[in-house]
Amino acid sequence: MTHVVADLHLHSTASDGADSPERVVERAAELKLAAIALTDHDTVAGNSEAVATGDRLGVVVIPGCEMTAYLGRNEFHILGYDVDSTNVELLKHCAWFAERREERAHEIGRRLKDLGAPVDMEAVMAKADAGVVARPHIAEALLEAGHVTTRAEAFDKYLGNGKPADVSKPDVEPRLVIDLIRGTGGFAILAHPALSPRDQLHFLPRLREEGLAGVEVWHSAHPGHASDSVAAEADHLGLLKTGGSDCHGAGPGKVALMGQWGMDSGAWRKLENYREGRLARGG
């Protein structure tokens, strides 16, 4: 990846990021990025603030989300771009998913208590600050309670997939999420398909048939030359290629990755052309 001009995978305090939607866009402007996408987990709550800030600062902000889906034990993250953040069905799904996440958080809390590592769940909910409660909030509580010495240890010991306090998210198939995104006028991208150890490239043909428009090629956690493999498969299937850092902001336990991964000017131009074509066609 050469010089990054567009980072299309960013998180804010609307889910589990450290910065407000406004601050995310301000940081993008400081880095002189031409475009970003706000893709908070299973919520679109920060989009209006981000878009308004982008208009003020001259940064293109794609209103987005990162939706969770499952096929059996395989977890997928589907990025929705150009979603209508006022769409009733999307908002209903996000509200339903948030309720399930809160139930999941309390179940994790019960398991942690049984494991001798209790945390203050009221404090955990406060950390989410009316956003989507997620495992990083609980990891921070474990650290503050002295049960672990790092957030990484919280996942390795308690919260990671298959660990003693792991509780599955609500079971939603990718097809339903893709349909939901498309129903708002947006388009769907498979996030970080080569994120080790869950290589998902072999699912791409099926997901394309279900309406997937593209795949995230450039990502901060793609191992080795994985991006080359993802790009080749995307080209083979005729899928869009996007990229982003998956930055959750700067601060304790968080690394400021914004602008270090994403799309160069050529890749961004191709996506711009696609978006303009969709607009001309009416979606």
**Domain 6-93+171-281 matches domain 101-159 at the CATH topology level:** no
What residues have CB less than 8 Å from 186, skipping those under 6 apart?
A: 64, 80, 81, 82, 83, 84
- Residue 282's pLDDT is 73
Q: Which residue has the higher pLDDT, 251 or 154?
A: 154
Q: Is the peptide bond before 136 cis (omega within 30 degrees of 0)?
A: no
| pLDDT for 2 beyond 80 | no
Model confidence at 148, pLDDT cuts 50, 70, 90, reads: very high
Model confidence at 198, pLDDT cuts 50, 70, 90, reads: low
| pLDDT for 22 beyond 80 | yes
Model confidence at 39, pLDDT cuts 50, 70, 90, reads: very high
Q: Would you tell me how many other CB atoms lie within 10 Å of the CB of residue 204? A: 20
* Across 78-87, average pLDDT: 98
Q: Which residue has the higher pLDDT, 108 or 198?
A: 108
Locate the domains of the chain by residue range: 6-93+171-281, 101-159
* Across 229-252, average pLDDT: 92
| pLDDT for 26 beyond 80 | yes
Q: What is the pLDDT of residues 119-134, one digit of tens each?
A: 998 888 877 665 667 7
**Cα distance between residue 67 and residue 181, in whole Å:** 9
Quick check: 44 and 63 in contact, CB under 8 A? yes
| Residue 139 DSSP SS3 | helix
| Residue 41 DSSP SS3 | strand
Model confidence at 251, pLDDT cuts 50, 70, 90, reads: low
CATH (residue range 101-159): 1.10.150
The whole-angstrom distance between residue 256's C-alpha and the CA centroid of its chain comes to: 15
Pick 6-93+171-281's CATH classification: 3.20.20.140, 3.20.20.70, 3.30.365.10, 1.10.10.10.
3.20.20.140
* Across 9-14, average pLDDT: 95
Per-residue exposure over 84-99, b if at least 16 CB sit within 10 Å of its own CB, e if not: bbebeebbebbeebbe
| pLDDT for 257 beyond 80 | yes
| pLDDT for 11 beyond 70 | yes
- Residue 113's pLDDT is 95
Model confidence at 252, pLDDT cuts 50, 70, 90, reads: low
